[in-house]
Amino acid sequence: MTKLQSRGGQFMFAMLKRHFRRRVLGPVAGALPAMLKHRFGAQDAYVPAQVGRVADKLKLSAEQRAFAFAACRAEGDFLAAAASKTPADYRLLRAELAALFDIWPPEFTCKHLRGMARNSRWEPMARQDGTGMDGGGH
């Protein structure tokens, strides 16, 4: 195998890895913020019970829940609710979401995620019942 073939294989593997990571975390970046807004109003961050209730409704895995709490909670609230997590964990979870979904600014809030979901190809994940999370059917 030549170096070029090896690099091509590595690139393909990285792209596949990114694709499957986006599929796993898509509900966190798309459906979760939309459903939080629908159920609890538009906020930049939500309390643990609100995020937990929506995570339960979406049947998020333990891994997805960690990302959900990091994405939709302020750092202090995240750390207070998750005693085993550190500030570095919070930043790493948010950094992975930002990198996977091209989220800007780095200090994104649920408001940013909701805005991105409307303009992206993973928007359908936020419309599981066919009516849209905003209740308006669009």
Q: Tens digits of per-residue pLDDT, 60-102?
A: 999 999 999 999 998 998 998 887 899 999 999 999 999 999 8
Omega within 30 of 0 (cis) for the link into 105:
yes
Q: Which position has the token pair 């998020």?
A: 60
Q: Tens digits of per-residue pLDDT, 1-38?
A: 566 567 777 888 888 888 999 999 999 999 999 999 99
Contact at 8 Å (CB) between 100 and 18?
yes
What is the C-alpha separation between 23 and 130, in angstroms, rounded?
A: 19
What is the C-alpha separation between 110 and 12, in angstroms, rounded?
A: 31
Tokens of residue 89, six digits: 């964990």
Domain range annotation of the chain: 3-126
How far from the centroid of its chain's Cα atoms is residue 42's Cα?
16
Packing angle, helices 3-29 and 62-71, rounded to 10: 70
| Helices and strands (DSSP H and E) totals, the chain | 7, 0
Please give the residue that has the higher pLDDT: either 123 or 61.
61
Predicted confidence at residue 2, as pLDDT, reads 63
